[in-house]
Amino acid sequence: MDTLIQSLDFIDNRTPEQAMACDFKVTEETNTGKNRKLYIESYGCQMNYSDSEIVSSIMAEDGFDTTSKIEEADVIFLNTCSIREKAEKTVRDRLKQIKQYKKKNRDLQVGILGCMAERLKKSLLEEEKIVDLVVGPDAYRDLPNLINQVDEGQKAVNVILSREETYADINPVRLNSNGISAFVSIMRGCDNMCSFCVVPFTRGRERSRDAHSVIREAQSLIDAGYKEVTLLGQNVDSYKWTSEDGTEFVNFAKLLEMVAKLDKNLRVRFSTSHPKDITDEVLHTMKKYDNICKYIHLPVQSGNNRILELMNRTYTREWYMNRVNAIREILGEECGISSDMIAGFCSETEEEHLDTLTMMDFVQYDYSYMFFYSERPGTLAARKLEDDVPLEIKKRRLAEIIEKQRETSLNRNKLDIGKVHKVLVEGFSKKSDSELMGRNDQNKVVVFPKKNFQPGQYVNVFVNDCSVGTLFGEAID
């Protein structure tokens, strides 16, 4: 899920402007004594963070350690996002800052990876003089060869999209890892053509990864002490893999079950579920295994049927509500549900915007990632529809959506008070080293006094208070 990967408690204190800003993650040190140093900044979605781990692994084979200090790098990669105009502008501004390092070190190589590389291709080299390499998301195996070309004084580009590449055999180098939770990509690309979205153009056709390679990766994470995996794909419910001899077929429900069965102490999460594809079979599988977290990210985008059709989401408001009812019937009221929302899509009227707000009332989302519409060149909407909702109106509607979400999040969190939650501890709370923070099953942040508990432990916490983005409590064991 693109969503920038904002931390999920952002609604506590983020303004609409902050909610639209882009976060990034930086590589950690892997000092293993290799010759050259690679520094990666990853922008955008979890998928990109996961890809940067694959890139680090490929580069490690080619003699690169990773560094967290940009000034020490021999190669700088920006793994980029194109989902909104703002995301691309952030990268362009960052390139301006990176110029100073190139001035100091003429051998420094600068590469643009990911969606912006794929969208803009060779023109990036012309527009951004300091860029040496442009590499699309399906071309990372070619990086050693492209780095060689730059070593020899040329510029290098590979933006070929593939119908098969899943990097299944590459064991990612874990970056920014707390050693507790990790992402595992189970598929790449997207075959849906939501009219606002650039992903099908930048990440290519949907393809599912060999189920056994997913299981191997999850098992190696368990062996390394990880306690939580999140299975990633743009549309996980359409995961499907058939063995070459045709004897094995694995859909998403089955894959989820296979991962859950590896170890009952491993928490299993997944993202993103597309409302048109999420099946009762998946919901029943979630119910069957205690270690599959009861939390579903089910982006609605809009609550209005005409807008959903213009967005080419291929479901209606009624269909979406039916899926939410199925979640409530099978998994109960406690199951966390979150969403993505776009305010001010082409021709959206005030009444149609209100339909999004009433949908939020109906579902009672635990939280949401909220954006205003940003036209992306080449998409169906850019070609066929007019981006005619004025910016101030988009922003005002977005602010209303955010305000509604704050109310709903607070209401949902209040329902958690007086209950015991099983929390997987991730680290210290932002405010104090005497408090720990972790997440409950529904992915909500829980903060409680440390006592003798440690990151990586499961702790039963009695929740006695909450804010919009956090539950507070006391450990009871």
For residue 1, the partner it binds in ligand SAM, ligand SF4, none, with Cβ less than 5 to 8 A by kind, is ligand SAM
Question: Residue 206: helix, strand or coil by DSSP?
Answer: coil
Question: Which range touches ligand SF4 (CB under 6 A), out of 85-93, 188-196, 352-360, 468-476?
Answer: 188-196
**Token pair recorded at residue 392:** 């101030």
Binding of ligand SAM at residue 376 (CB under 6 A)? yes
The nearer residue to ligand SAM, 38 or 190, going by C-beta atoms, is: 190
Positions in 199-218 near ligand SF4 (CB under 6 A): 199-200
Cis peptide leading into residue 314 (ω within 30°): no
The nearer residue to ligand SAM, 28 or 340, going by C-beta atoms, is: 340
Q: CA separation (Å) from 306 to 129, 192, 313, 429?
A: 44, 18, 11, 44
Radius of gyration, alpha carbons of the chain: 22
- 81 annotated as belonging to a binding site for a ligand: yes
- 115 annotated as belonging to a binding site for a ligand: yes
**Token pair recorded at residue 21:** 């800003």
Cβ–Cβ under 8 Å, residues 22 and 81: yes
Strand partners, 473: 463
For residue 131, the partner it binds in ligand SAM, ligand SF4, none, with Cβ less than 5 to 8 A by kind, is none
Distance of alpha carbon 78 from alpha carbon 41, whole angstroms = 5
User: H/E element holding 427?
Assistant: strand 420-428
Per-residue contact flags (x/-) with ligand SF4 for residues 217 to 256, judged by CB under 6 A: -----------------xx---------------------
For residue 3, the partner it binds in ligand SF4, ligand SAM, none, with Cβ less than 5 to 8 A by kind, is ligand SAM
For residue 195, the partner it binds in ligand SAM, ligand SF4, none, with Cβ less than 5 to 8 A by kind, is none
For residue 66, the partner it binds in ligand SAM, ligand SF4, none, with Cβ less than 5 to 8 A by kind, is none
Positions in 392-421 near ligand SF4 (CB under 6 A): none
| Residue 269: closest CA among 238, 292, 236 | 292
Cβ–Cβ under 8 Å, residues 337 and 366: yes
Binding of ligand SAM at residue 348 (CB under 6 A)? no
For residue 200, the partner it binds in ligand SF4, ligand SAM, none, with Cβ less than 5 to 8 A by kind, is ligand SF4
Distance of alpha carbon 253 from alpha carbon 255, whole angstroms = 6
Cis peptide leading into residue 272 (ω within 30°): yes
Binding of ligand SAM at residue 340 (CB under 6 A)? yes
Distance of alpha carbon 367 from alpha carbon 369, whole angstroms = 7
The nearer residue to ligand SAM, 272 or 408, going by C-beta atoms, is: 272
Cβ–Cβ under 8 Å, residues 364 and 408: yes
Strand partners, 112: 78, 134
For ligand SAM, the binding residues (CB under 6 A) are 1-3, 45, 83-84, 196-197, 199, 234-235, 272, 274, 299, 301, 340, 342, 371, 373-374, 376
For ligand SF4, the binding residues (CB under 6 A) are 190, 192, 194, 197, 199-200, 234-235, 274
